[in-house]
Structure formats: structure tokens, C-alpha cells
Homo-oligomer: A and B are copies of this chain.
Amino acid sequence: MPQTATAQPEKKPSRIQLRNRRKILDAALDVFSQHGFRGATLDQIAEAAGLSKPNMLYYFDSKEAIHVALLNALMDEWLAPLAVMDPDGIPLDELLAYIDRKMEMSRAFPRESRLFANEIIQGAPRILQDLEHRLKPLFDEKCRLIRTWMEEGKLAPMDPGHLIFSIWAMTQHYADFEAQVQVLMPDTHAAQESARTHVAKMFRNLLSV
């Protein structure tokens, strides 16, 4: 059982294991992000991964195990742009840089964005714990930081929590609702580019004191 996340003995994974686990997780990202957990099937994932279904289940105990592993593996990566915000930087620059990083991630990793979006829209049944224990502390910490900046008069005053929500909403919209954006603004490339400057301007305007 190479996949058990149980404990001590844990041999180091072989090259084959690493390669196949990566293939599975990548395929799962494709399928889960497109159909959500219940809508995705093991056969789809197996085919996308180029493995047989039993072979896949040799690496992960169950469908749910794949999903959880995927979310866990991506969570840190997904939160990195926020985590990196520097208390010693120039407040407005830090926030605008954060927004730009998020816009860039949305553009570069739409599958990841939709994976989380699907999970959360459906009530986050499989990552509520993670939200509590990994997202919440980070969120609270950054809210305190931003509030401090505002109290020092470095940023326009507002609720830091809602500010962060605004940033998430705006940046992820272009990835999560890409199908709609594409219908309404057919020139996707231009839309992406102008979206970036639009969002940047919007928040600069909002945050400037």
C-alpha cells in the first residue's frame, strides 16, 4: 500500500511510483475540475492518465483519496501568493503585487481554480477541515496586517476581509467562468490582457488613500 498516508515506515517512493502518481493527479485535475467530484468517474481519470483502473487503485485507495490528495497537494501552492505578502513592504505595492500574482495564476492555472471552485460551491464537504486549519489562520493573519496598514493611514480604510474576498472574486472569475467570458468577449487573448489592467486599476483606485 504505497499510498497510505499513515505513518512511520514509509519507504521512499520509486521512480515508477512518482511518475504514475503524478500522471494520476494530473489526469484527476483535468477530470475533477471539469465535472466536480461526483460527476467525475474513475474510468475517465484512468483513461486520461493512461493507466488501467485497477492499476490506478493500486496507487490510491479510492476515488475520494485521489480527490483529497489532489486538493492537499495544491492547497499550499494556491495560497502561496497570499502567504508571500510582506509586512515590511510598501502596503499599496504589496497588495497590488498580490493581485497581479493572483491574476497570473488564474490565467496560468485555470484547472486548479475550477477544482477549488467546484469543491467550494458544492459545500466544500471534503476540505472544510483544510479551510479551517490552513486557510483561516492565513486569512486572519493577513487581515490583521492589512488592518494595521490601514490604521497607519497607508491604505484607504475598509474591511480587510471583504477586501480579500473582492480580490478573490475578481481574479478567479476569469478562470472559473471562462466559458461565459468567452461567449461575451470572444477575443480571449485581448480579454485576458485588458482584464489584468482593469482589475489592477480598480484596486489601485480603491486602495489609494
Residues of chain A having any CB pair with chain B under 8 Å: 34-40, 114, 117-118, 120-124, 128, 131-132, 135-136, 139, 158-159, 161-163, 165-166, 168-170, 172-174, 176-177, 179-181, 183-185, 191, 194-195, 198-199, 201-202, 205-206
- Chain B residues in 8 Å Cβ range of A122: 34-36, 39, 118
Would you call the interface of chain A mostly helix, strand, loop, or mixed? helix
A168 vs B170: C-alpha distance when bound (angstroms):
9
| Contact status of A162 and B194, CB under 8 A, knowing A180-B131, A183-B132 | yes
A177 vs B165: C-alpha distance when bound (angstroms):
10
Pairs across A and B, CB under 8 Å, 21 listed: A34-B122, A34-B123, A35-B36, A35-B39, A35-B122, A36-B36, A36-B38, A117-B177, A120-B176, A123-B179, A124-B180, A124-B183, A131-B184, A158-B201, A165-B195, A166-B199, A168-B173, A168-B177, A169-B177, A202-B206, A205-B205
- Cβ–Cβ contact B162 & A198, under 8 A: yes
- Chain B residues in 8 Å Cβ range of A172: 169
- Chain B residues in 8 Å Cβ range of A117: 117, 121, 176-177
Copies assembled = 2
| Pick from B36, B170, B180: contact of A170, CB under 8 Å | B170
- Chain B residues in 8 Å Cβ range of A163: 198
A40 vs B172: C-alpha distance when bound (angstroms):
25
- Cβ–Cβ contact B179 & A124, under 8 A: yes
Closest 5 CB pairs of A and B: A38-B39, A169-B173, A162-B198, A124-B179, A169-B169
- Cβ–Cβ contact B124 & A166, under 8 A: no
| Contact status of A183 and B38, CB under 8 A, knowing A121-B176, A198-B166 | no
- Chain B residues in 8 Å Cβ range of A201: 158
Residue from A158, A162, A199, A201 having most chain B Cβ neighbours under 10 A: A162
- Cβ–Cβ contact A36 & B118, under 8 A: yes
- Cβ–Cβ contact B198 & A184, under 8 A: no
